[in-house]
Amino acid sequence: MTGKLYLVPTPIGNLEDMTFRAIRILKEADVILAEDTRTSAPMLKHFGIDKKAYSHHQHNEHKATSEIIKFLKDGKNVALVSDAGTPAISDPGFFLVREALKNEIEVNCLPGATAFVPALVNSGLPSDQFVFEGFLPVKKGRQTRLKLLANEERTMIFYESPHRLLKTLEEFAEFLGEDRQASVSRELTKIYEETVRGTVLEIKSHFENNILKGEFVICVAGCEASKEKSKNKDKYKQEK
């Protein structure tokens, strides 16, 4: 029998968010793969998982995948973790999953922590329909993508790093509109967790005067939601 590939979510900050099942799977796995073993080692130690983790990241995943498939075909169970959250969500994992499925190997993704869900729910923006964009292209294709997203009707979710946050908010103001409603969450589940809501311009102004630290999740209202909010504002002014 072939082994199974498990994608195991890990806490995005607060270690109390680890599930009992995730701990069990990691303890039982024959091989643990980690995006960065320096990050995963303290986490594994904290939960009493006395196993060495092997590196599996964007720079070696194509080369390493064939070897991992051999392990799985030999009947070994493999567990993959990323630095934080669910593997394959803006992290390594997709290529390995695809190759495992091509080889008729069973893949199991455990439910667990991921940053964009609490950020979306906390945002106060419509969450019945949304689109996850992850990280925007850094250079090539960035403006083209932003122009297309200007007409997106669903709530949009982005990941961003501290040193690019202000530039991204500035571009949102340019391509989506300064008054577009948005929400920015940082340090989710951690001591200094913060969510700032308002227009793109208001949020940019806030972070221009505050320390930029941690990973950021940006939620931006779709164009229809923004139009509806503007209508309600105008109606309120007329009634007043």
Q: Would strands 106-109 and 4-7 be described as parallel, antiparallel, or unpaired? A: parallel
55 within 8 A of 61, measured Cβ to Cβ: no
Q: Give the residue from 208, 180, 123 showing the smallest Cα distance to 157.
A: 123
Q: DSSP string covering 24-53, please?
A: HHHHH-SEEEES-HHHHHHHHHHTT----E
Q: pLDDT digit string (tens) for 113-149?
A: 999 999 999 999 999 999 999 999 998 999 999 999 9
Mean pLDDT of residues grouped by 10 in the chain (240 residues)?
A: 96 96 98 95 96 91 92 97 95 95 98 96 97 95 96 98 96 97 97 96 95 93 76 52
Q: How many CB atoms lie within 10 A of CB 88?
A: 17
CA dist 19 and 116 (Å) reads 18
Give, in words, the CATH class of 115-220.
Answer: alpha beta
136-141: list long-range contacts, CB under 8 Å, 24+ apart.
Answer: 136/160, 136/168, 138/164
Query: Architecture of domain 5-109 in CATH?
Result: 3-Layer(aba) Sandwich (3.40)
**Is 10 in a helix, a strand, or coil?**
strand
pLDDT for position 49: 97
CA dist 102 and 59 (Å) reads 22
37 within 8 A of 55, measured Cβ to Cβ: yes
- Contacts of residue 114, defined as CB under 8 A and 6 or more positions apart, other chains included, come to 9, 12, 85, 86, 89
CA dist 218 and 133 (Å) reads 10
5 within 8 A of 65, measured Cβ to Cβ: no
**For the chain, domain boundaries:** 5-109, 115-220
pLDDT for position 1: 87
- Hey, which residues does 26 pair with through a beta bridge? none
CA dist 140 and 133 (Å) reads 16
